[in-house]
Amino acid sequence: MTRIVVLQARTNSSRLPGKVLLPISGIPLVVLAAKRAANTGLNVLVATSSECTDDALVETLVRHGIAWYRGSLNNTLQRIVDGLNSYPDDTVVFRLTADNIFPDGQLLDEMEIFLKENGLRYLTSSGPTTGLPYGVSAELFYLEDLRESAQLTQNTYDQEHVTPFIRRKYGDSCFDMNRELEMSHYRATIDGFDDYVAMSHVFKGVANPVDLPLLDLIGRLKAAPFQPLNKAAAKKLVLGTIQLGLNYGVSNKTGKPDQSTATSLIKMAISSGIPTLDTARAYGNSERVIGQALLGGWRSRVEIVTKLDPLEACPEDAGPETVAAFVNSSVFNSCTELGVDSIDVLMLHRAQHRSLWNSAAWQHLKRLAENGTIKALGVSVQTPSELASCLEDSSVTYIQLPFNILDWRWDELIPAIRRIKSVRRLVIHVRSAFLQGLLLSQDEKLWCRAGVGQPESIFKWLTVTGDLLEMRDTSELCLTYCLSQDWIDGVVVGVETELQLRSNLAIADGSLLSGAELEAIVENRPRVEVDVLNPATWNVLGAAK
């Protein structure tokens, strides 16, 4: 049976057409990728575009004796089909991309055996169940299925990404023979400059980069920069960024980080699998800090949740056009500072803005969501009544609320959250897991200012509970409690230092609490007044409003 490796070198969305000519160990990426794929005797064809911007690429392929085909920039699917015109329908096609230089012939051979032994029509080495790092990516399918795709689909997404039609028809079967590696949250691709730095580090000092076994490369990846700090992706952590834009929190002793430190923290969080950043117009220059940190290919790797300006300058009797102007200004400024054309998630910073001005602000935000300026809408709530109202509104897909191990206010609404999540999209993020750092402090003056005159019983309960559950400290107890809630999708935690981020990631790597353990905490926790749970009421300089 005929076999062919197609190395895809260009799509319409490529940010840098010539990046595959960058050298690793003195070899252009596209050449290294092609030779590694062919190192067990497979034939390789590089499929690139007929645009003049790819002339240098073709010249490089000619010099290295690598076969190539040029076709449509916009229809990558048709380009590959045309490039394989002389091959029979039963040809097994391996599809790789030229910026992923880890896959080798041995991996492809093993995948082909797996494909045939299991009677599959499609197979991929990508995904969390494979155990392989992101970028150790190959797809296998039969040429006749690819030809059918080109004939039947007119979908531009299908045409650019080549295999969606086949995957919809046959399913996403994963090659999981390396699942014990548990490294799917590592990164071995080259989308930006920092990726290139990391891959250069992996191949540094390698005498023969073409024939170095894949598993050896993966082992070297662990010491490369911009790789995870944790055993598993921290998918339930959300990096709060108010500390990156303001001096914030009663226990903040280091102050606001500078841009360099903030960038390092953001990249470290993303590299470790934190999927979401949380910010707001009201968080000082946090949005601008994020926008600068995500330059160079990082933006596509993370979701950003931001919040509308509090609109304090908008008159109470403002008409719809005036309110829309205030909303547009906030959204425009967020896009500008973040360096984006559209906002992933836009939340109201004040829940009452859903109804103020005869709902003009909320209605305008829904129009912006309809035209794609905003991808999802949400509300930041403060009270159970605000939460109950938002749960009834199907246009609210994200809700953020304050929650911590002492917080009893939401108990009656948790069943409603679970019920609604079962019938529609609803994402719940919680903030203030440490109650702005108060739970981590045994400074009686701070507790007194927060409304607790004799906090010794709380200190004792936190210590005893942590010891019983074998927690290292109170921060692990408080964060694990929030992470263990099945109705919570993300826990927003802010940091000022790398040490704090590493600590949070280590906690996220740990075991969750059981249902029985959570119930015991709720039954035995000290009861505090509602004002203690609301930092806006504290008599503490710098408390959030």
Q: What string of H, E and C letters represents the secondary structure of 323-383?
A: HHHHHHHHHHHHHHHHCCCCEEEEEECCHHHHCHHHHHHHHHHHHHHHCCCEEEEEEECCC
Q: What is the pLDDT of residue 14?
A: 66
The number of residues making up the chain comes to 545
Q: What is the pLDDT of residue 96?
A: 97
Instruction: Report pTM.
Output: 0.91
Q: What is the pLDDT of residue 542?
A: 38
> Is residue 404 within 8 Å of 434, Cβ to Cβ?
yes
- For residue 65, the Cα-to-chain-centroid distance in whole angstroms is 39
pLDDT for 332-343, tens place per residue?
Answer: 999 999 999 999
> Is residue 27 within 8 Å of 209, Cβ to Cβ?
yes
pLDDT for 269-306, tens place per residue?
Answer: 999 999 999 999 999 999 999 999 999 889 999 999 99
Q: What is the pLDDT of residue 249?
A: 53
Q: What is the pLDDT of residue 375?
A: 98
pLDDT for 347-382, tens place per residue?
Answer: 999 999 999 999 999 999 999 999 999 999 999 999
Span 402-430, average pLDDT: 98
Q: What is the pLDDT of residue 18?
A: 82
Which pair of tokens denotes residue 367? 């129009």
Instruction: Give the whole-number percent of the chain exceeding pLDDT 90.
Output: 93
Q: Is the pLDDT of residue 22 over 50?
A: yes
Q: What is the pLDDT of residue 16?
A: 64
Inter-CA distances, 289 with 61, 104, 345, Å: 41, 39, 18
Q: What is the pLDDT of residue 544?
A: 36
pLDDT confidence of 54, banded at 50, 70, 90? very high
Q: What is the pLDDT of residue 68?
A: 98
Residue 210 and residue 218: Cα distance in Å, rounded? Answer: 14
Could you tell me which residues come within 8 angstroms of residue 12 by beta carbon, excluding any fewer than 6 positions away?
73, 74, 76, 160
HSE value, Cβ hemisphere, 13 Å, CA-based, for 142: 14
Q: Is the pLDDT of residue 325 over 80?
A: yes
Span 237-259, average pLDDT: 81
Span 409-437, average pLDDT: 97
Span 517-521, average pLDDT: 98
DSSP H helical segments within 67-163, as ranges?
76-83, 105-117, 143-152, 156-161
Q: What is the pLDDT of residue 253?
A: 58
H or E stretch covering 64: none
Q: Is the pLDDT of residue 225 over 90?
A: yes
Q: What is the pLDDT of residue 254?
A: 64
Q: What is the pLDDT of residue 181?
A: 95
pLDDT confidence of 107, banded at 50, 70, 90? very high
> Is residue 9 within 8 Å of 46, Cβ to Cβ?
yes
Nearest partner of 104 among 40, 46, 43, 47, judged by Cα: 40
Residue 363 and residue 361: Cα distance in Å, rounded? Answer: 6
Residue type, 458: I
Span 427-438, average pLDDT: 96
